[in-house]
Structure 1
Amino acid sequence: MTIKARNQRLVRLRRLEKLREIGHRQAMLAAGQAESTLAQLQHLAERTGILAESYAARTDADDGAALAHLGAFRAGLERIARSTAGEIDTARRIADARAAEVAAAERRRAAVADRIAAEAQALARVRAQAGTPLGAARNREEPASETIPMPHSGDWHGS
């Protein structure tokens, strides 16, 4: 492979590395959002649980209507708690999937970085070989051997 081809390959690999870095950042952003959603749902579940416990302990209903209202309110809180628990499970699965996507994006980015390092080393070797007499291609604009021009003496036969 020529030096020019290796340079072009290195440029393409660096562009690919930038794309992989963008993909990695986007995966990190999505994972962060999923973790944030999970944390918000866990906080909501905690607050709902505290509220449900508070109302479950209440015994201050004055009449049957107040008792029925209190029971309905507690049942509503329990439905919210069950629903939130299901949403937490879903959010946890999504957060885990996003974390796996981050790991995969990092592996892809690292693989390209490794390829860039290998290509840069190969290019350096080719350039070093091009600078040595045995590995160098002759510059076509210079003569094959250096000759020193001698002034013409006018005597072709040595006499």
Structure 2
Amino acid sequence: MMADHAHLRRLQRLEKLRGIARHNALAEAGRAETRLASLEMLQARTNALITGYAARTDAQCGADLARQRIYLGELQGMVGRNDSDVARARDQADARAAEAAAAERSRAAVETRANATAQAIARARSAAALPLGARNTRKP
């Protein structure tokens, strides 16, 4: 019986540790999602700039037009780099979400084992409280 109590305490400590790991994994997943959202917002803003500059027709001379094209080329280069950053951030966010899900499954498994052990202890206590084989000493 004492071994069962010690086992239950170990499982409860393990559940707390797994809960902390789950919390950390969720925080990491949140940070990864935030980074992904910022990069996607930057991507949308850069694409809007490109669209706006590509539609401009206010060049006064060839030099203005050349500067505009150079600027557009730099923006397009930024979009290419940002696309790879977004893809990398999406992969990281997916990986962090998978880690968070695994941490939750691990914590839930330990919680299930701890609950089963607690129920086994409760059953053993209630069984020990019943006098088995006790005879009724009164005669009818």
**Would the TM-score normalized by the shorter structure come out above 0.5?**
yes
Give the superposition deviation at 1:66: 1.4
Pairs within 5 Å for 1:30-45: 30-45=28-43
CA distance in 2, matches of 1:74, 1:128: 79
Select 2:10's aligned residue among 9, 12, 16: 12
Tell which has more relative contact order, 1 or 2 (C-alpha 8 A, sep 6+).
Answer: 2
Shift of 1:95: 0.5
Q: Give 1:141's aligned residue.
A: none
Of structures 1 and 2, the larger Rg is shown by 1
Match of 2:50 in 1: 52
- Cα separation, 2, equivalents of 1:73 and 1:82: 14
The secondary structure found in structure 1 opposite 2:8 is helix
- 1:11-54 deviations in Å (ceiling 9; x for gaps): 11000000010000000000000000000001000000000000
Aligned residue pairs total 133
Query: Structure 2 regions of 5+ residues with no counterpart?
Result: 134-140
Which of the numbers 113, 129, 133 marks the counterpart of 1:115?
113
5+ residue gaps, structure 1: 136-159
Structure 2 counterpart of 1:147: none
Q: What is the aligned partner in structure 2 of residue 21 from structure 1? A: 19
Match of 2:78 among 66, 77, 80: 80
Q: Aligned partners of 1:126, 1:99: CA distance in 2, in Å?
A: 41
Structure 1 SS opposite 2:113: helix
Percent of aligned pairs sharing the same letter: 49
* Structure 2 match to 1:90: 88
Give 2:138's aligned residue.
Answer: none
Aligned to 1:63: 61
Aligned partner letter, 1:19: L
Structure (1 or 2) with the greater helix fraction: 2
TM value normalised by structure 2: 0.91
Rounded to whole Å, the distance in 2 between the matches of 1:16 and 1:7 is 14
- Supply the RMSD in Å over aligned alpha carbons: 1.2
- For residues 121 and 54 of structure 1, the distance between their equivalents in structure 2, rounded to whole angstroms, comes to 67
| Structure 1 runs (4+) greater than 4 angstroms displaced | none
Distance 1:59 1:79 in 2: 22
- Deviation, 1:130, is 2.1
Distance 2:24 2:132 in 1: 49
